[in-house]
């Protein structure tokens, strides 16, 4: 039976979950995978945390050199997070020929080109299933299940924090601030939630997934990004009235005109499979040219779901002798002939506050008409006693830049202000 030594860098939520899975399932992996996975070393500054998990004292390393110089360690699992120390430690492991498994989406999005070069030089492996969508095996599906397809579109809920917040706002009528506070209390959101609520986390993940799906480098800097901090209860209520559910979506499309990658809040029809994905769950809805539509669904975070993805990579690396690398030129930037679409097409929801008087709607309709924007649905409600009204408009599919131009023109009117603009996925 093949023995494989594993080192874990960082025993926080994900690292601790990985340690539990590896140690508690050791016998199961011997029986089902015919490999003996042994945690030979851990690097955790808080030695009490390591001891509490049952790590033997002699296996708690004091520095990265102890880990990478340990001849019994074959695979290094990075669960530190961030990009400074993690990058240094991962490169140290790869440079001595040790395979690396990581859950660090920011590290992979920003530095996979550098890490992969180091891995290739030493014929080491670099695996990162756990970097995207927690325990959902989206990367393995793209690499080993759907490789016979040309992936056409990918639409996903790939950040559990924002999905939890939007679910609480929709189901319990909470404000954004109230829902965020509850997410922080339950551990779904960090004390500083910017990476999640402003869409950075989802943008990193979409960069990784789109690169793999479309077989070309899609830098995270090419991802159009908007967060959820400006969303209001009125928008969610209006969406329900119109038959929509609001989600933070990651969208990638590959068309003849180029590649489209964007992260932003969007309404989806309440009958769409993604509309029912609630709480901290994640899902990715794919379309392949041969297989058609597929949706993967599951826990997007947590010690055991993410640990499951990490251990899956560990087992894959331990049972496959030849390392695999990107199917595209993995450079810091995109290939020169790769075109990215910025003036993408979508339907749009708009909520405006307007003076409650004749002629207002016709002026707004005229602005839309000059930009070839047609309206699909319109309703108005009076704000009693204020002389104002709320005007809600849903457009047919049109161009992003046309809508931005229309919004700018409407904002210049003395009798109207645009309170909200959201995209609608038809």
Among all residues, which ones are annotated catalytic?
205
Q: Are 313 and 115 in contact (CB under 8 A)?
A: no
Beta strand pairing call for 345-355 and 416-425: antiparallel
Strands (E), 21-109: 35-43, 60-61, 75-78, 99-102
Strands (E), 190-257: 224-225, 244-255
Go through 155-188 and write b for each residue having 16 or more CB atoms within 10 A of its CB, e for each that does not: bbbbbbbbbbbbbbbbeeebebeebbeebeeeeb
Q: Are 73 and 101 in contact (CB under 8 A)?
A: no
Strands (E), 300-387: 345-355, 375-383
Question: DSSP characters for 171-186?
Answer: HH---HHHHHHHHHHT
Element (H, E) at 140: helix 138-144
Q: What is the dihedral of CA 300, 301, 303, 308, to 10 degrees?
A: 30
Q: What is the DSSP letter of 221?
A: G
Give the C-alpha separation, 363 to 283, whole Å.
41
Residues 6+ apart with CB under 8 A from 293: 285, 286, 287
* Residue that is written with structure tokens 């904002």 in the block: 411
Q: What is the DSSP letter of 65?
A: H
The distance in angstroms from the start CA to the end CA of the chain is 54
Hey, how many other C-beta atoms are within 10 angstroms of the C-beta on 358?
A: 7
Burial grade of 54 (CB within 10 A; 0-12, 13-18, 19 or more): exposed
């Amino acid at each position: 039976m093949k023995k494989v030594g594993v080192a874990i860098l960082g025993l926080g939520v994900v690292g601790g979950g990985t340690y539990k899975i590896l140690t508690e399932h050791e016998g199961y992996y011997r029986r089902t995978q015919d490999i003996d996975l042994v945690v030979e070393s851990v690097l955790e500054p808080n030695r009490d945390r390591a001891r509490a998990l049952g790590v033997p004292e002699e296996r708690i390393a004091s520095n990265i050199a102890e880990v990478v110089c340990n001849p019994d360690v074959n695979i290094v699992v990075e669960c530190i997070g961030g990009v400074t120390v993690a990058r240094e430690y991962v490169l140290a492991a790869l440079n001595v020929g040790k395979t690396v498994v990581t859950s660090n989406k920011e590290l992979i999005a920003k530095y996979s080109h550098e890490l992969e070069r180091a891995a290739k030089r030493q014929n080491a492996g670099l695996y990162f299933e756990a970097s995207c969508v927690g325990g959902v095996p989206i990367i393995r599906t793209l690499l080993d299940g759907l490789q016979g397809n040309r992936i056409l579109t990918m639409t996903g809920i790939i950040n559990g924090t924002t999905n939890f917040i939007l679910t609480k706002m929709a189901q319990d009528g909470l404000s954004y601030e109230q829902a965020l506070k509850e997410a922080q209390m339950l551990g779904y959101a960090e004390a500083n939630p910017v990476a999640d609520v402003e869409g950075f986390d989802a943008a990193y993940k979409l960069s990784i997934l789109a690169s793999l799906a479309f077989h070309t480098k899609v830098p995270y800097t090419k991802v159009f990004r908007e967060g959820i901090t400006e969303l209001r209860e009125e928008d969610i209520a209006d969406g329900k009235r119109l038959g929509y559910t609001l989600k933070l979506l990651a969208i990638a499309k590959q068309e003849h005109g180029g590649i489209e990658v964007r992260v932003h809040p969007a309404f989806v029809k309440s009958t769409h499979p993604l509309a029912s994905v609630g709480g901290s769950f994640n899902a990715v809805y794919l379309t392949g040219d041969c297989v058609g539509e597929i949706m993967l669904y599951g826990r997007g975070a947590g010690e055991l779901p993410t640990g499951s993805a990490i251990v899956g990579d560990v087992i894959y690396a331990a049972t496959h002798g030849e390392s695999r690398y990107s199917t595209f030129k993995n450079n810091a930037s995109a290939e020169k002939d790769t075109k990215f679409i910025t003036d993408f097409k979508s339907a749009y929801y708009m909520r405006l506050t307007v003076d409650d008087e004749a002629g207002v709607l016709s002026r707004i309709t005229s602005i839309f008409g000059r930009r070839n924007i047609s309206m699909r649905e319109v309703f108005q409600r009076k704000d009693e006693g204020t002389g104002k009204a709320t005007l809600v408009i849903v457009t047919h599919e049109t161009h992003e830049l046309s809508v931005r131009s229309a919004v700018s023109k409407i904002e210049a009117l003395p009798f109207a202000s645009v309170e909200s603009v959201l995209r609608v996925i038809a």
